[in-house]
Structure 1
């Protein structure tokens, strides 16, 4: 692993054993467990895979919409500030 990391310019960072919140994949696993697997019954591995894929597609779609919304809000704030500056100078 260290050789691969060195060749691919990846820095390996050790994290404490009991600090799962620092490992981003653990957060993803927790969400999948909570929102997909818990209180569910699956008849096959394929069904679990489909459920996880559907959850991730939905989650990624929500993230994209939230990103677009935040970007639009930021642009609107920038325009309001610019308009306020122009009005202040004109007064």
Structure 2
């Protein structure tokens, strides 16, 4: 037997305890991320269902997706994008 206690100068006990804590913390992070990924998948499935329901009642899903994209933009971003699209359409002779 050694005369040095396990939690003393060689630091072995402290290093083992730290490694154990790090392992537990890492496992906690991994498990939380996995739960969130499962929730994200469930929400994505719900969104797909809503789009299918909208399509089933006659709405254009592509148009809905475009509206959602536009609604995420602030008014300045939206105005800038619309101005650029308008400019391109004029350059192509598609609007008068």
Q: TM-score, normalised by structure 1?
A: 0.52
Q: Distance in 2 between matches of 1:43 and 1:61?
A: 29
Q: Relative contact order (alpha carbons < 8 A, sep ≥ 6): 1 or 2 greater? A: 1
SS of aligned partner of 1:83: helix
* RMSD (Å), alpha carbons: 1.3
TM-score for the superposition, normalised by structure 2: 0.49
Larger Rg: 2
Report the Cα distance in structure 1 between the residues aligned to 2:53 and 2:10, rounded to whole angstroms.
Answer: 64
Moved >6 Å (runs of 4+): none
Mapping 1:54-73, distance limit 5 Å:
54-73=21-40
Gapped regions of structure 1 (runs ≥ 5): 1-41
Unaligned runs of 5+ in 2: 1-8, 59-96
Paired residues for 1:52-91 under 5 Å:
52-91=19-58
